[in-house]
Amino acid sequence: MVNVLSIRCAGFLACVLLMTLFALAPVVQGATYYVKTNGNDAAAGTTWATAKQTIQAAVDIAADGDDVWVTNGLYQTGTRITPGSTNGTLNRLVITNNITVQSVNGPAFTAIQGEQNGNTLASIRCVFMSTGALSGFTLIDGYAPFVGSGLYVDASGGGAYAYGASLSNCVVIGNEAGRAGGGVAGGSLYDCRIESNIASNGGGGVYESTVYDSSILSNSVTWLGLGGGALESTLFRTWVSENTSFTGGGVGNSTLHDCEIY
């Protein structure tokens, strides 16, 4: 006769042993890379003493799960072509791996600056992200131009094109897009301030974004566009104030939860 109690006991002991082995196993953490304005892109980037000079140089050597720490300063050099672009639009920073890029002291001290040369290919968006997280930066003076094919990946998200990615504790200010999302297109935003951005067609502040506990202020849409603050987005506990558009000055075609529109 099979001893069911013995089988159950043996199974239980095996589970306990397996759980113990998992508990004792070392936790594998990702690598950390460092960036400072007086760093050197030829250096290893693995300590502050060997920090990279541009954020892109550290991002390029980081793998999924790694962290990139950026100290105080204005980061305004270097360009990278938009992935999937048909006309070569430019970005100051491109993130395509699942990493976290974080400033040391927050957006008041650390900024990524694009370049505004009108609706031309000489303009530069601040950040393109297809995954990963960006935290604690000011994104300023970015421009996503509507040139040539006019693909949304080229012409939307003047501050950040962030589908599949997230931004937290960021200030996105003074950016422009030739199509939609003057500040940000796509992505999840947490505790951000989206202010004084412009889009030609819609979503002066954000377009197709999910926004939590943030403020969307003084953004605008030119031409006959829609959604001065937000277009086709979902907002939670967000303050939307003094945005302008031909239709839907505050928001357009969006879902709001516990928000205030002023």
Segment 30-58, tens digit of pLDDT: 999 999 999 999 999 999 999 999 999 99
Q: How far apart are CA 258 and CA 256, in angstroms?
A: 7
C-alpha angle 179/260/208, rounded to 5°?
25
| 125 neighbors 161 (Cβ within 8 angstroms) | yes
Section 119-123 average pLDDT: 96
> How does DSSP classify residue 67?
E
Q: Give the pLDDT mean for 79-93.
A: 95
Task: Please choose, from the candidates 261, 225, 255, 224, the residue with its C-alpha nearest in 3D space to the C-alpha of residue 242.
Answer: 261
d(CA 244, CA 118): 21
The mean predicted confidence, pLDDT, of the chain is: 91
Q: Is the dihedral of CA 191, 84, 143, 76 positive or negative?
A: positive
Residue range 79-105: mean pLDDT, rounded = 96
